[in-house]
Structure 1
Amino acid sequence: MSNLNVKFVAADREVWEGEASRLIARTTEGEIGILPGHQPLLSVLIEGDVVVVPTSGERRTVQIDGGFLSVDKNVVTVVAQHVEMADAS
């Protein structure tokens, strides 16, 4: 089974990159879940939490102030002005 390569990028730095089994985000069209094999997508994100589940299984919450989500060939990139990684939960 393949995984997602997820990258969170803020205006001034790369915040986190790693392999994940899924990602959940809120777009201007509603909540979306991304799994391996997802169709290519470019979407506008709203302010709030993005949940990523690394392959290690530890769910992580990332706070963003809005931004963009790109999905292509199991590569997911979240770009926002401000990105804050919360503690593992």
Structure 2
Amino acid sequence: MKTVTVNIVTPDGPVYDSEVTMVIAKTTSGEIGVLAGHIPMVAPLTIGAVKLKKADGTFELAAISGGFIEVRPEKISILAPSAEVASSIDVARAKEALSRAEGRLQKKQDDVDFQRAELALKRALNRINVQEGNI
């Protein structure tokens, strides 16, 4: 099966660079699957997991916090504010972030930015689910 080069890049630098046979990502309009030779496109991404199918049939997972996917026939680039491959996620840190976000959401005070707390909650849950493979 044909392969395509995938790069996941954040402002801090590259996170992933490898050959895969398929990329599955969550866009703002739904989930997409992209194979080598796909027509060029750009789509906005949501907080979620990116599934990367290797030539041997196994999957690698990466947690991303939004961004964009740019597809070209020979290369797929994912530009995200933050991203981590499953093997590098610190679950204890993610669970602490989840606990903090839940605490903020439970407060009934005016000084709590609920939208920001909800996004923090989604990012923490995504990181935990990706690391545990619950996708």
Same fold flag (TM > 0.5): yes
1:46-67 deviation per Cα after TM superposition (whole angstroms, max 9, x unaligned): 0010100122433111001100
Task: Please give the residue correspondences for 1:8-47 in structure 2 after superposition, counting only pairs within 5 Å.
Answer: 8-47=8-47
Unaligned 5+ runs, structure 1: none
> Between the two proteins, what is the percent identity of the paired residues?
34
Which position in structure 1 is the counterpart of 2:82? Answer: 82
1 or 2, which has the higher helix percentage?
2
Provide the C-alpha distance between the structure 1 equivalents of 2:83 and 2:58, rounded to a whole number of angstroms: 19
**Highest relative contact order (Cα 8 Å, sep 6+), 1 or 2?**
1
Unaligned 5+ runs, structure 2: 88-130
TM-score by length of 1: 0.91
1:16-70 deviation per Cα after TM superposition (whole angstroms, max 9, x unaligned): 1010000000001100000111110100000010100122433111001100000
* Aligned structure 1 segments of 4 or more residues deviating by more than 4 angstroms: none
TM-score by length of 2: 0.61
Which position in structure 1 is the counterpart of 2:59? Answer: 59
SS at match of 2:65: strand
Which position in structure 2 is the counterpart of 1:70? Answer: 70
1 or 2, which has the higher strand percentage?
1
How much is the aligned-residue C-alpha RMSD, in angstroms? 1.6
